[in-house]
Amino acid sequence: MKTATEIDPKLVKQLREKTNAGMMDCKRALVESGGDLEKAEAILRTKGIAAAGTKAARATKEGIVASYIHLQGKVGVLVEVNCETDFVARNENFREFVKDITLHIAAAHPLYVSRGDVPGNLIEAEREIYKAQAKGKPENVVEKMVDGKLDKFFSTVCLLEQGFIKNPDETIGDLLKAKIAELGENIVIRRFVRYLVGEPLPSEA
Pairing of strands 75-83, 163-164: unpaired
Q: Does pLDDT of 3 surpass 70?
A: no
140 vs 126 pLDDT, higher one? 126
Determine contact, residues 118/158, Cβ cutoff 8 Å: yes
Note the CATH number of domain 119-156.
1.10.286
pTM greater than 0.85: no
pLDDT for position 189:
96
Asked if pLDDT for residue 1 goes beyond 90, the answer is no
Query: What is the pLDDT at residue 24?
Result: 78
Q: Given 1.10.10.10, 1.10.3720.10, 3.30.470.20, 1.10.8.10, which CATH number is that of 4-54?
A: 1.10.8.10
Q: Which amino acid is at 77?
A: V
Q: What is the pLDDT of residues 20-72, one digit of tens each?
A: 677 777 888 888 888 888 888 888 877 766 556 555 556 678 999 999 998 78
User: From CA 94, how far away is CA 159, in angstroms rounded?
Assistant: 18
Which class in CATH covers the domain with range 62-115+158-196? alpha beta
Q: Please report the pLDDT score of residue 202 as a whole number.
A: 67
Q: State the distance between the two ends of the chain, measured CA to CA, in whole angstroms.
A: 48
Query: Residue ranges per domain, the chain?
Result: 4-54, 62-115+158-196, 119-156
